[in-house]
Amino acid sequence: MSEIDRLRERVKELEGQLKDTSIPTPPDEHTPDLVSNDPSPKFSYANEGVQLDTTTAIQSLAPSTQFYGPSSTYYFIHCISQRLKANGVAVNTDQEPHSLIPNSASRSMVNVINTPDAELEEHQTSDSVVPTRAMHGLTEGTLSGKDLSATQEAFFLDLFWDSWHCCYQLLDEEEFKGHYKSLWNEPTCNMRKDSPLVDIVLALCMQYGVTSLPRQSGYKAEINSRDAAVAGRWLYQRCQKLISCDLERPTLVTFQCQLWSAIYLANASYQNMAQNMLGVAARTAYTLGLHIEPANDLPVKEREARKRAWCIMFIFETRSCIRLGRPWVTQTQPILPLLPTSYRGHAAVGADQFRYTTERAKLTEIARSAFDSAFNYRPSCGAATTTSDGLPNIYTLSMERMRAWAESLPHMLKTERRGSGKPLSTDLSEIEIEPFAPVSLRRQRLMLELFYHELMLTLGRHCISQCLTRAGSIKTSSSHELADISALHSAATTKLLHQVYQEYDILNGWYEPFNCQWNAAITLVGYLLAYTQDSPTAMIARTALSQSIMVLEKMGEFFGTASSAAGVIRTLRQRLNMPAEAHMATDSSTITPDTVQDMDFSDLGAFDLSFEGILGTFGTESEFERLGFGIDMQDFLANGADSMGTMQ
């Protein structure tokens, strides 16, 4: 054997040893270790997904359908529908999965967002006409944003900085206020000059603001042209007309208008239109060079504005694509060089003003690489299905990195817990919202935690999807474990929102928490449908599912689609043979702290609950707590029924 042959044999031997050891490579401090070096990775979304027409309330014979990948809620609803049909308990055989999708403005009024008010009024029948001031004391024209007075504009714009701005820190407050003031050159004039940026910001503020205005006694939000979701639509339409003149020579303001427009459309439930607008914003961002680190010769303020612009688009785009299960709009690249900094040294409660955006961008980057790794995974030739341990191991690694982010999150961005509970965990402990912190900071804390839970439950939900659609397949302990994690993060989302809407008003009228709650509720349904055996996690899921209906009903006071979602979940709970009485205190099967403590946990070996942190983010202190049944958990199970009354 020649020297070359001997070296080749030695290389093969070393490669085999390296493969057998499977020693994980320590992740780089800044760049996610799951980010592919391939500039154009081949997505596997085309191999797994569903074609549905989600734009109509009933199943249509028209060939118009949209693609939704495996990370989307629509795909998960399709999986639930398939299992219900297989079990012979379908809600509506002819119309599923359409009957499992909540009604919304985009399904009932597909064109209202682009329809001028005059044309809309012509198409209204006499039966549908209501008094012009039936909602919030606003006329039809005022509700669309067309006839706002200067005082009304000022009222809505004042809401922006503690609402939309705290989650999407795209604008400079001082600059925007100066720009708005300049539009009123004549003090006695009742009309301001046109501004697409002011128009779209005002439209967003109206979506949120009209829900807080006084309403008639017993008012219930309905899905019609007066729904808060489509408030300000005339302003949105005018913004599009104004920026159309700048598409060939766009500016940073053009990009800001396009991104805010995408956010407005998503908030109005027009998800496909929102993603299309997002694509336009992304091309504008590339045209402006926002994806490149700003040159040092630019003023500091301009450099930071460009960084924030790219970061916020990166955050919104990633979340949108995950929710729809579609490929990224922008090319994946490290976000670290484009993270914003506090150029004025301004601090809020001991932290710079853009720390929220920085931390959310970091979590978004981890999530993006996690979904890339999961959905680009290809089993080896010997693997029978994608539910083998290979894919769950990828999910587990990704979740560990998200947990590491949660543990390193600055204390000032965490919502405190009562007792010994831990933030950003699944211990289901009660939150304690700091009363003296700025309202924007309190909202940032809640939104960060909801975003974290949503990513975790969505990543683990793929194992539930596999179980729903592959009846008879072998359920590995690792995939069951991940399904449990998904259900527990769904329960944590529900528990948090249930308490927030009972005790606080800080999220009243916000549409984004509805998306989080709907995502969590439908995940709980799928979990209980896929894993029918009783277990500690199943008991938690049942209680959380009951609470989710209450949360959605409370949200229904502000958005008609939330009321529809509550009805869908209520119907699905009945299909799961979980009547409301099952959780009432008078029922013999009511779960109490005593019954939880008396459970025989020795029979849970099949669930492989030794996975550290399955029920909590930061590990455990005792064997009993490792299973998630601390005092707060017992209270959650025992008292879930006590709060089944109407929220006040």
Confidence at residue 222, expressed as pLDDT on a 0 to 100 scale:
64
CA distance 551 to 570: 12
CA distances from 470 to 79, 289, 485 (A): 10, 46, 20
Mean pLDDT on 241-265: 97
CA distance 6 to 414: 58
pLDDT digits (tens, 9 = 90+) for 360-384: 999 999 999 998 887 777 665 544 4
Mean pLDDT on 90-118: 70
**52 - beta bridge partners?**
66
Confidence at residue 533, expressed as pLDDT on a 0 to 100 scale:
86
Return the closest-CA partner of residue 322 out of 364, 360, 378: 364
**351 - beta bridge partners?**
348
Three-state DSSP class for residue 645: coil
Task: Look at residue 315 and tell me whether its pLDDT is greater than 80.
Answer: yes
- Work out how many domains the chain is built from and give that number: 1
CA distance 324 to 74: 8
CA distance 357 to 365: 12
Three-state DSSP class for residue 516: helix
CA distance 475 to 489: 21
- For 390, the token pair is 């290979």
Q: Which spans in 23-104 are helix H?
A: 73-87
Task: Look at residue 621 and tell me whether its pLDDT is greater than 90.
Answer: no
Report yes or no on 595 lying in a domain: no
Sequence-distant (≥ 6) Cβ neighbours of residue 29 within 8 angstroms: none
Beta-carbon neighbour count of residue 79 at 10 Å? 24
Report yes or no on 164 lying in a domain: no
Report yes or no on 467 lying in a domain: yes
Sequence-distant (≥ 6) Cβ neighbours of residue 213 within 8 angstroms: 136, 137, 138
- For 2, the token pair is 């020649």
Query: Which of 17-26, 237-246, 368-377, 573-582 has the weakest average pLDDT?
Result: 17-26
Task: Look at residue 154 and tell me whether its pLDDT is greater than 60.
Answer: yes
Task: Look at residue 301 and tell me whether its pLDDT is greater than 70.
Answer: yes
Question: Residue 272's pLDDT band (boundaries 50, 70, 90)?
Answer: very high
Query: Which of 25-29, 72-76, 532-536, 541-545 has the weakest average pLDDT?
Result: 25-29
Confidence at residue 642, expressed as pLDDT on a 0 to 100 scale:
53
Task: Look at residue 130 and tell me whether its pLDDT is greater than 50.
Answer: no
Is there a contact between 501 and 551 (Cβ–Cβ < 8 Å)?
yes
Instruction: Find how far residue 548's CA is from the centre of its chain.
Output: 16
β 351-352/347-348 pair status: antiparallel
Three-state DSSP class for residue 384: coil
Residue with token string 């439930």:
269
Confidence at residue 174, expressed as pLDDT on a 0 to 100 scale:
94
Query: Which of 198-207, 253-262, 574-583 has the weakest average pLDDT?
Result: 574-583
Confidence at residue 461, expressed as pLDDT on a 0 to 100 scale:
94
- For 467, the token pair is 């179980």
Report yes or no on 557 lying in a domain: yes
Mean pLDDT on 251-260: 98
- Exposure string of 285-295, with b = 16+ CB inside 10 Å and e = fewer, is beebebbeebe
Q: Which domain holds residue 463?
A: 27-102+381-574
**67 - beta bridge partners?**
51
Query: Which of 46-55, 88-97, 268-277, 540-549 has the weakest average pLDDT?
Result: 88-97
pTM, 2 dp: 0.81
Confidence at residue 394, expressed as pLDDT on a 0 to 100 scale:
87
Confidence at residue 625, expressed as pLDDT on a 0 to 100 scale:
42
**How deeply is 232 buried, as exposed, middle or buried, from its count of CB atoms within 10 A (0-12, 13-18, 19+)?**
buried
CA distance 101 to 500: 25
CA distances from 178 to 161, 162, 183, 298, 301 (A): 15, 18, 9, 21, 15
Question: Residue 15's pLDDT band (boundaries 50, 70, 90)?
Answer: low
Compute φ and ψ for 431, nearest 5 degrees. Answer: -85, 160
Report yes or no on 388 lying in a domain: yes
> Count of H helices and E strands in the chain?
23, 6
Question: Residue 113's pLDDT band (boundaries 50, 70, 90)?
Answer: confident
Report yes or no on 114 lying in a domain: no
Confidence at residue 635, expressed as pLDDT on a 0 to 100 scale:
60
Question: Residue 577's pLDDT band (boundaries 50, 70, 90)?
Answer: confident
What percent of the chain is helix, strand and coil (3-state, nearest 5)?
A: 55, 0, 40
Report yes or no on 256 lying in a domain: no
Confidence at residue 211, expressed as pLDDT on a 0 to 100 scale:
81
Task: Look at residue 591 and tell me whether its pLDDT is greater than 50.
Answer: no
**66 - beta bridge partners?**
52
Q: Across all residues in the chain, what is the average pLDDT?
A: 79
Confidence at residue 568, expressed as pLDDT on a 0 to 100 scale:
94
Report yes or no on 499 lying in a domain: yes
Identity of the highest mean pLDDT range in 362-376, 513-527, 627-641: 513-527
Q: How far apart are the first and last CA of the chain?
A: 84
